[in-house]
Structure 1
Amino acid sequence: MHDHAPVTGIRSAGHRRLLAISLSLTCVIMVVQVVGAILSGSLALLADAAHMFTDASALVIALIASAVAARPADDRRTFGYQRAEVFGALINAIILILLSAWVAFEGVSRLLHPGEVQVAGTLMLIVAAVGLVANGVSMWLLSAAQRTSINVRGAYLEVMGDLIGSAMVIVAAIVIIMTGWVPADAIASLIIAAMIIPRAISLLREVFSVLAESAPKGTAVSEIRQHLLEYPGVTGVHDVHVWQLTRGAPVFTAHVSVRQQVLAEGGASLLLAQMQTCLEQHFDVEHSTFQLEQDATGTGDAGDCGAAHA
């Protein structure tokens, strides 16, 4: 059988609280890094501070999206406002890509003109270490929520980028302190940019997958169809559609052909309940819709879905 965890997403008040705490941490460390970058002359530290600013913006977007997504459904928006999470994540991804381009440009410029800037390695090291600890705390706070919300995942990925960036700044600071080789600062900036871009692309890919109404990653439509065919009286499953409103909110619809005897004996309600329970318990699909169709030509019974999971 499958293990099941509650699917709450960013709509959870607890997740919004975690985002708020992470936002506070990010803002404090961002100010520290900006001051440290100005005093030390470190581009890598300034790039990390700029990424912190992006994180703060992303977390604000995530909090706004969470409030919008929590609004109930109405006659015009029958699924509610859950897609607000997806649009928030799209903005986050675009910001990440623009930031990476800026960091790369500045890093190359410093490599081409290495003698124009001096960097205070010790101060750079201290500020980067503080940032590393703060980013680690933020990642820990968001680690559970990001599994069920695409927008929280966007914020989580940005904090991860910050943590890696802080580590790169620490390495560069140590090199500068030990050898005096200032280009290490610019190289760290380029590494930060190179590590941000794949994560941004990954987030964009997931956003486009949701907007294109593709089947959620890991959802085996053929396996679901086979499970439904194992119910007594079911002779066919067609017009199957699976998509997701946002991360952790899959939707399933299908036409199911059943024997005339099942409908004549009043078994439609029981069959619908069993199939919906099957999808919820074994495939984590809480919202499913079935249209039952009479099929007088169907032959052959099979065991139920529960038996298939035993």
Structure 2
Amino acid sequence: MHSHDQHDHSGHGAGQGGHHHHGVAADGDRRWLVIALTLITVFMAGEVIVGVVAGSLALISDAVHMLTDAVSILLALVAMRLAARPARGSYTYGLKRAEILSAQANGLTLLLLSLWLGYEAVRRLISPPEVTGSLVLITALVGVAVNLAATWAISKANRTSLNVEGAFQHILTDLYAFIATLIAGAVIVTTGFARADAIASLVVVALMLRAGFGLVRDSGRIFLEAAPVDIDPNDLGDRLAAVGRVAEVHDLHLWQITSGQSALSAHILVVPDGDCHAVRRELQRMLRNDYRITHTTLQVDHLGEDPDTDLLHITPRRSTPPTDPHCEEPHGPIHRPGPHEH
């Protein structure tokens, strides 16, 4: 029996999206995040004071959101440090998923914060307090400028990392928040319509819900070992089965170690006179070039050498067997070449 376990580590940094965790790229990402963190922290302190003086929920909510921006960037920086550590001991992938934990935490804070702000905004919509529109307007103008600078800084970092994207979404939502607050301030100054402040807060709440849900969904997919969104595992299995001399592909698993870093394992059966090594090399070349999957584990056997692994008694081209002879449970569909392939 020819059984080959092949781990191709050569291209880890070049997973989907060209994500890099090491060296210059990671240091550059950290530098941009630190710049954004400094801008936000300095402005946030002043905004809290002005928000209290002006009696503006929109300003205070922006400041609270900026606090979560700062925390999200700190989380991203810590997660980058952890993810860069080499694999050792029990953590055979290293701590790469620390970045996904950070992204999930950012998403959850956005969702929780949006619920609190939504409640406060509705309460103020029903009975609006006195708001000093001019202070709101001036602070929002400065806030737009600061957030534009912070958004630009984070956009320079590698956003294919869900971790960096989490921090970016926080700051981008904050930029929208300041634009809404700016409009609210202008409305209050020109018309005296105090409810504009609460309406601006509700706009921000909607944006926060959208960004938070996206982050929780995307990080949840990675934790649940789902395939990358841009790859259909069934189509991929059919393509692998269509490669010359392949008789069957089963136990196909495709997941992400972290954002932009996909991994695949599969059991490949080759026709009796096929070259297992050549088939494995061809499959790996296809996975690397067409799908940017560089972390692969392929077990390649000759069809018929081991009756326990010979599943060809099932006729459909792609099917899920009632029982899988070499496993306690079947692991997904079985892929076979079409009638004119080999």
Query: Which bracket does the TM-score occupy, shorter chain normalised?
Result: 0.7 to 0.9
For 2:151, the aligned partner's letter is M
Pick one of 176, 184, 195 that aligns with 1:183. 195
Cα displacement string for residues 249-292 of structure 1 (whole angstroms, at most 9, x for unaligned residues): 111111111122234xxxx3333233222112211212111110
For 2:220, the aligned partner's letter is F
| TM-score, normalised via structure 1 length | 0.87
Structure 2 unmatched runs, 5+? 1-15, 305-311, 313-335
Equivalent residue for 2:326?
Answer: none
Please report how far the alpha carbon of residue 7 of structure 1 lies from its aligned counterpart in structure 2 after TM superposition.
1.8
Task: Tell me the SS of whatever aligns to 2:274.
Answer: helix
Question: Matches of 2:228 and 2:156 in 1, distance apart?
Answer: 19
Pick one of 205, 226, 230 that aligns with 1:193. 205
1:24-39 equivalence runs, <5 A: 24-39=38-53
Tell me if structure 2 keeps the 8 A contact 1:260–1:294: yes
Question: Matches of 1:9 and 1:29 in 2, distance apart?
Answer: 30
Tell me if structure 2 keeps the 8 A contact 1:135–1:159: yes
Equivalent residue for 2:317?
Answer: none
Please report how far the alpha carbon of residue 134 of structure 1 lies from its aligned counterpart in structure 2 after TM superposition.
2.1
The structure with the greater share of residues assigned to helix is 1
Task: Tell me the SS of whatever aligns to 2:273.
Answer: helix
Cα displacement string for residues 117-144 of structure 1 (whole angstroms, at most 9, x for unaligned residues): 3222222112112211222222233336
**Higher RCO, 1 vs 2 (CA within 8 Å, ≥6 residues apart):** 2
Equivalent residue for 1:280?
Answer: 288
Question: Matches of 2:248 and 2:191 in 1, distance apart?
Answer: 72
For 1:170, the aligned partner's letter is L
1:156 partnered with 2:186: no
Equivalent residue for 1:89?
Answer: 103
Equivalent residue for 2:303?
Answer: 295
Question: Matches of 1:73 and 1:43 in 2, distance apart?
Answer: 47
Task: Tell me the SS of whatever aligns to 2:230.
Answer: coil
Task: Tell me the SS of whatever aligns to 2:258.
Answer: coil
Structure 1 unmatched runs, 5+? 304-310
For 2:27, the aligned partner's letter is A
Question: Matches of 2:17 and 2:97 in 1, distance apart?
Answer: 22
| TM-score, normalised via structure 2 length | 0.80
Question: Matches of 2:231 and 2:157 in 1, distance apart?
Answer: 21
Equivalent residue for 2:237?
Answer: 225
Tell me if structure 1 keeps the 8 A contact 2:17–2:160: no
Task: Tell me the SS of whatever aligns to 2:268.
Answer: strand
**Identity in percent:** 35
For 2:116, the aligned partner's letter is W
Instruction: Call closer, same or farther: CA 1:284–1:145 in 2, change over 3 Å.
Output: farther
Equivalent residue for 1:50?
Answer: 64
The 10-residue stretch of structure 1 (192-201 or 46-55) with the greater mean CA deviation from structure 2: 192-201
